[in-house]
Amino acid sequence: MPFKTISVIGLGYIGLPTAAMFASRKINVIGVDINQHAVDTINRGEIHIVEPELDAIVSRAVASGHLKAVTTPEPADAFLIAVPTPFKEEYQPDLTYIESACHAIAPVLKKGDLIILESTSPVGTTEQMAQWLSAARPDLSFPQTHGEDADINLAHCPERVLPGHVVRELVANDRVIGGMTPKCSARCVDLYRIFVEGECIITNARTAEMAKLTENSSRDVSIAFANELSLICDKLDIDVWELISLANRHPRVNILQPGPGVGGHCIAVDPWFIVSKTPEEARLIRTAREVNDSKPEWVIGKIKTTITDFLLANPQRNAADIKLACFGLAFKPDIDDLRESPAMAITSALTKELPVQVLVVEPNIESLPAALVNRVELIETDTALNIADIIVLLVDHKEFKLLDKALLQNKLLVDTKGIWR
């Protein structure tokens, strides 16, 4: 059965680009979000998030009538759920958004519909969704009780796109498709084939859930290894970046890069979904999280030592008139996303813990986030280079990599990304 109308629940960093992709292939798409501002913005043909190339695709899709946004679900042939899955206390997964999405779509479901969970989720969530949905719609049958004959098909197909490259990766990346039955998987493949050019590989729902968590945990563990090396090398007076580049010349070694910590809403969160299900077994995965989460504190310690060094070398100065410039606030290079950013956490801690004046350079934003307003000054790179006594490099944005190193000569530096060595 062809998909005439597709509904995407959650119009954020994944849902909106996915909705726009289907609409660009001339499928009618109903995007659903509880955020009225997001809905109004999209219906004007604009976007409420920053992602290269997305604005033009959304604008065309809305203008052609293939994409509309609403706050309450309407009937469709397929529902894709792309809502957040954060964690709550004790790093336990918070599935409230998925549960709410199930309750929201339940009244409009009809026989033959396909439901796909795209949100990164702990193992067992797709089966849990099936339970919530069947409790809400006892008149319909679901795969956990009716297998291939179920009225509703359900699958997990995790998103795997890299922020900043979403439009290209949505089309090009392979998709892991975990249906609750082979028929659920086959229908899910038919749906993604509408715009996905990568391979669609079929497995079951639990394996698909675990595959996504494994990808991000693997990256987290690799970064933790690099971050641990940076602490070891600091103690042993070795340049960690030189060390890594040398070790990486081995044909079977590929170490990632240390930094001020791991940020974003994926790599720092998803490993906990494995730990929460299997706390006894997931020892390395938990330790990697702890290593990466403790890196900002270590950086703050380095900054404090640098201030002490500065005062020793300049006894006529006092701490209150030291100007310390933080270069970068985003959670990774060349984006404007400040959420869950170690650079933000470090900058904020500096304003609380130190008497110095904190300045910020962040080429990707125009105004300070609320958490830093009245606590730091947002200034241009040139100004910072003129007036700062100490410069702390927190994000390796391209503008900072291209800086003339001669301009840094008379400054004390804390370079957490090793770009000014």
Residue number with the smallest Cβ distance to ligand SAJ? 266
Q: Which stretch binds ligand SAJ (CB under 6 A): 63-71, 157-165, 192-200, 240-248?
A: 157-165
- Where residue 135 falls (left for φ over 0; alpha for ψ -120 to 50; beta otherwise) is alpha
Would you say 170 or 385 has its CB closer to ligand SAJ? 170
CB of 82 to ligand SAJ, least distance (A): 10
Q: Where in 11-40 is the site for ligand SAJ (CB under 6 A)? A: none
Residue 282 CB partners (closer than 8 Å, separation 6+): 271, 274, 275
Joined tokens for residue 131: 């339970």
Query: What angle is formed at CA 93 by the lines to CA 90 and CA 96, rounded to 5 degrees?
Result: 125
- Cα torsion angle, 342, 255, 118, 87, sign: negative
Taking the complex as a whole, the smallest distance from the CB of residue 75 to ligand SAJ amounts, in Å, to: 29
DSSP E strands, 10-106? 28-32, 67-70, 78-81
The angle subtended at Cα 72 by Cα 70 and Cα 78, nearest 5°, is 85
| Residue 90 in tokens | 């004790």
Q: How far is CA 115 from CA 47, 78, 109, 197, 392, in A?
A: 25, 6, 9, 21, 47
Nearer to ligand SAJ among residue 3 and residue 195 (C-beta): 195
Q: Least distance to ligand SAJ from the beta carbon of 293, Å? A: 12
Cα separation of 293 and 328, whole Å? 18
Q: Among residues 102, 157, 200, 266, which one is catalytic? A: 266
- CA gap 379, 362 in Å, rounded: 8
Strand partners, 111: none
Written as six digits, the tokens of 250 are: 């081995």
Determine how β-strand 200-204 pairs with β-strand 412-415: unpaired
- Of the pair 137, 160, the CB lying nearest ligand SAJ is at 160
Size of the site for ligand SAJ (CB under 6 A): 20
Of 41 and 416, the one with the shorter C-beta distance to ligand SAJ is: 416
Task: Show the site string, 320-359: x = touches ligand SAJ by CB under 6 A, - = not.
Answer: -----------xx---------------------------
Pattern 368-407, binding to ligand SAJ, x per CB under 6 A?
A: ----------------------------------------
Q: Is 116 helix (H, G, I), strand (E, B) or coil?
A: strand
The reply on whether position 263 binds ligand SAJ by CB under 6 A is yes
**Contact code string over 171-210 relative to ligand SAJ, x by CB under 6 A:** ----------------------------------------
Instruction: Report, in Å, the least distance between residue 51 CB and ligand SAJ.
Output: 12
The secondary element (H helix, E strand) that includes residue 145 is helix 143-146
Cα 346-351-353 angle, rounded to 5 deg? 85
Using CB under 6 A as the binding rule, the residues of this chain from 267 to 286 that contact ligand SAJ are 267
Among 15, 163, 179, 271, binds ligand SAJ (CB under 6 A): 163
Pick the catalytic residue from 102, 200, 212, 417.
Answer: 212
Q: Closest separation between CB of residue 341 and ligand SAJ, Å? A: 7
Retrieve residue 352's tokens: 């609380």
Residue 212 annotated as catalytic: yes
Torsion of Cα atoms, 15 then 18 then 23 then 29, to 10°: -40
Asked if 309 and 377 count as a contact pair (C-beta separation under 8 A), the reply is no
Give the burial string for 377-394 (b: 16+ CB within 10 Å, else e).
bbbebeebbeebbbbbbb
| Among 30, 114, 223, 376, contact with ligand SAJ (rule: CB under 6 A) | 223
Contact pattern from residue 69 through residue 108 relative to ligand SAJ, giving x for each residue in contact according to CB under 6 A and a dash for the rest: ----------------------------------------
- Catalytic-residue membership of 326: no
Does residue 405 sit in helix, strand or coil? helix
Which residue stretch of 233-241, 262-270, 279-287, 353-361 sits at the interface with ligand SAJ (rule: CB under 6 A)?
262-270
What does DSSP assign to residue 148? G
Contact range with ligand SAJ by CB under 6 A, out of 26-34, 182-190, 252-260, 406-414: 252-260
Q: Which of 216, 230, 306, 416 binds ligand SAJ (CB under 6 A)?
A: 216
Q: For residues 187 and 417, which CB has a smaller minimum distance to ligand SAJ in the complex?
A: 417
Contact 216, 159 (CB under 8 A): no
Catalytic center residues: 212, 266
Residues that bind ligand SAJ (CB under 6 A): 120, 159-163, 215-216, 219, 223, 256-257, 259, 262-264, 266-267, 331-332
